[in-house]
Chains A and B, each alone.
Chain A
Amino acid sequence: MSQEELANAIGITRQSVHAIEKGKFVPSTLLAFKLARFFNTSVEELFYLLDN
């Protein structure tokens, strides 16, 4: 799946998908839930806190 396909499905820009993937942008809880629902998984599976 391409970034733009995901962006169109979630209703955000491709640039935002790219920034989330690179860890440069932290999405809101709502967007995190939308992404989790799209991938049919939980938010914890997609996003996690680094120890340091």
Chain B
Amino acid sequence: MKTNFPTPLIWKSILSSTIITAILLIIGLFRLCFLYQIVHRIKLFIPGIERYGTIYYVGLLLQLALCISIAVTIFLLLKFAGNFRLESIILSILGTLAFCNILIEGVAMNEFYSEYYLRKWNADFELSILNMGMILNLVFIGSGLWMIIKSWIVLRFNRRRNHYPINETVFEMTQYIGIACGIIGALFAYYGYLYLHHYRNRLKPDYIDWVYTCCLIFLLPYLSVIIFWILKLFVKRDRTLYDEKQKRDLSNAGLTTWLLSILILAVLIIPNLKIHSPALGVMILPFYIFITLLIFSSTVLFNFKKT
């Protein structure tokens, strides 16, 4: 089956969306150069770094706008402009990581500035996080630009292309996003536990609120795709979202996740039964949520692709 090529209104929507995304991608490139300069200046203790603070936080907001814009563009391209399956999957993974990195980068930059620049302490960990974030963003922006160029070629030459149904691609994307969120969230919960355990004697409620807010932010990309599925369910008349095999894959993954989560909880809790650490009580729920998300999405994807 071939795609029906976009109507003029949809064509305009796709074009505006890709133009906005292209502009944000170019701004993102400038932001990366700016970030590199800030890190370089902090490393060398160049004075007057404070005046760039506002621009830096505006840059983070633009990065958020870029993630949203890319998500909208992916949806429009998948729905109306043919085969962008590979680009969509790659960008959904990179976009999820880039979205979570907004928070991680903001915190790491704040710590790098206050610990290294102001207090002259060692901040190699924060610096490595900032460097990894810059590499991730560079790959994300590069992939985004590739998708935009490809979409313009498709629109310009009005090519009719074979395509995968949007259901299948979004189903696959959902699992990749679940895996990315699961890995980031589980790592965060683990490091959060170490952090809270270290400060267990002077643990403030603010820390706990902050940790739970971060967990919620790391879940947002997955939640947004789930909301997409729910909206789709309401729009569809027959109330069926998945085909038989997808339902079987989801059921098998549910059972596997349930059994493995019992095992993981046992491994986590039994050795720590005699340790009275509030950190464990705080972090066990986020860790459980993210690890089950990781197992569930990985198992669904494995079943979907391999069986």
Chain A residues with a Cβ under 8 A of chain B:
2, 4-5, 7-9, 11-16, 19, 24-25, 27-28, 31
Contact = CB atoms under 8 A, between A and B. Distances in A.
A25 B1 contact: no
Given A2-B162, A4-B164, A8-B165, A16 B243 contact: yes
B307 A16 contact: no
B248 interface: yes
B300 to A, nearest CB: 12
A19 B164 contact: no
Given A5-B1, A24-B307, A16 B162 contact: no
Please list the 10 inter-chain residue pairs (A to B) with the smallest Cβ-Cβ separation, ordered nearest first. A16-B245, A12-B243, A8-B1, A13-B168, A24-B307, A25-B245, A16-B243, A13-B243, A5-B1, A28-B244
A28 B162 CA distance: 28
Of A2, A13, A28, the most chain B CB neighbours within 10 A belong to A13
A31 B244 CA distance: 9
A15 B243 CA distance: 10
B298 to A, nearest CB: 16
A24 B162 CA distance: 25
Contacts of A25: 244-245, 248, 307
A3 B305 CA distance: 15
Contacts of B248: 25
B304 interface: yes
Given A2-B162, A4-B162, A14 B245 contact: no
Given A13-B243, A13-B245, A19-B245, 18 more contacts: A2-B162, A4-B164, A5-B1, A8-B165, A9-B1, A11-B243, A13-B165, A13-B167, A13-B171, A14-B168, A15-B168, A15-B304, A15-B305, A19-B307, A24-B307, A25-B244, A25-B245, A25-B307
A12 B247 CA distance: 11
Of B162, B164, B171, B244, the most chain A CB neighbours within 10 A belong to B244
Contacts of A28: 244
A15 B244 CA distance: 11
Contacts, number: 44
Contacts of A31: 244
A16 B165 contact: no
Contacts of B246: 13, 16
Of A8, A14, A15, the most chain B CB neighbours within 10 A belong to A15
Interface in B75-123: none
A4 B168 CA distance: 11
A4 B163 CA distance: 8
A9 B165 CA distance: 11
A19 B244 CA distance: 11
Contacts of B304: 15
Contacts of A4: 1, 162-165
A20 to B, nearest CB: 8
Given A2-B162, A4-B164, A12 B244 contact: yes
Contact of A15 (B1, B162, B163, B245): B245
A25 B244 CA distance: 9
Contacts of B245: 12-13, 15-16, 19, 25
A14 B32 CA distance: 40
Contacts of B167: 13
A19 B252 CA distance: 16
A19 B249 CA distance: 12
